[in-house]
Amino acid sequence: MRLVLVGPPGAGKGTQAQFIAEHVAMPKISTGDIFRANVSEGSPLGVQAKAYMDRGDLVPDDVTIDMVRNRLAEPDALDGFLLDGFPRTVPQAQTLDDILRETADSELDVVLELVVDDDEVIRRLSGRRTCRTCNHIWHVDFDPPKEPDVCDLDGGELYQRDDDQAETIANRLEVYAESTAPLVAYYAGRGVLIGIDATGPVDDVTQRAIDALRPLRAGVSDA
């Protein structure tokens, strides 16, 4: 299965990607995570991306597309994947179509859109904490760790992302409306878009996603 998660910043893409990828047994590929890993290593890619990320702007398409093209060529992604955070512009989506045609003579099976409003996004992003070692995502109110700033899963230190400051969140929402929201119409027109209500408890959202994928998975395994 080749699956894309789309939705505004803070919609819960990273949180849900973890669970859905396990459910469909496909690798989760998050462009945000790959960029952040490069930033913390200080690699040339990380140095290039950091200024854009700190402002809440998109990293230029050519840089992002090269990175994704390389990742999708790795053996674990050849039979399917769950993409979180890519594509984010219509040119990225068109290039993804080309990459899939060239490498695997295939196309996307489904695009899941996580639907939440801006007030909820702001509540979620301002309380988000991420584990420095395993990248697990927590929230100080909605999904708190047992001990503040310590990951329950591996004891790693929790940190607040630089782009989760109020001003940067506002810019990320504008960038989403301008550059990424048009993707929803693009994929709706292709007949691969499924919208999911992403409010309410995390487990409920996961269940809605799994329910939405069920008919499609039956089709994939029958094929």
Residues designated as active site: 13, 88, 128, 161, 172
Residues in the chain, overall count: 223
Q: Which is nearer to ligand AP5, 53 or 111 (CB)?
A: 53
**Residue whose CB is nearest to ligand AP5 in the complex, by number:** 32
Q: Residue 12: what residue type?
A: G
Select the span of 9-17, 19-27, 95-103, 184-192 touching ligand AP5 (CB under 6 A).
9-17
Q: Residue 214: what residue type?
A: R
Q: Which is nearer to ligand AP5, 56 or 80 (CB)?
A: 56
Q: Which is nearer to ligand AP5, 26 or 28 (CB)?
A: 28
Q: Round to whole Å and give the CA distance between 63 and 45.
A: 8
In the chain, % helix, strand, coil (3-state, to 5) comes to 55, 15, 30
Residues near ligand AP5 (CB under 6 A), total: 36
Of 24, 5, 27, 25, which Cα lies nearest the Cα of 16?
5
Q: Which is nearer to ligand AP5, 142 or 186 (CB)?
A: 142
Is beta strand 128-131 parallel, antiparallel or unpaired with respect to 110-115? unpaired
Question: Which residues ranging from 123 to 182 are in contact with ligand AP5 (CB under 6 A)?
Answer: 124-125, 127-128, 137-139, 142-143, 163, 172
x-or-dash string of contact with ligand AP5, 84-123, rule CB under 6 A: -xx-x---x-------------------------------
Angle, vertex CA 128, rays to CA 127 and CA 130, nearest 5: 150
Residue 163, phi then psi, degrees to nearest 5 = -85, 10
Residue 30, phi then psi, degrees to nearest 5 = -110, 115
Determine if 58 is a binding residue for ligand AP5 (CB under 6 A). yes
- Find tokens 């999708």 and name the residue: 72
Q: CB 178 → ligand AP5: shortest distance, Å?
A: 13
Contact between 150 and 157 (Cβ < 8 Å): yes
Q: Which is nearer to ligand AP5, 117 or 218 (CB)?
A: 117
Determine if 10 is a binding residue for ligand AP5 (CB under 6 A). yes
Q: Round to whole Å and give the CA distance between 190 and 24.
A: 22
Binding site for ligand AP5 (CB under 6 A): 7, 9-15, 31-32, 35, 52-53, 56-59, 64, 85-86, 88, 92, 124-125, 127-128, 137-139, 142-143, 163, 172, 201-202, 205
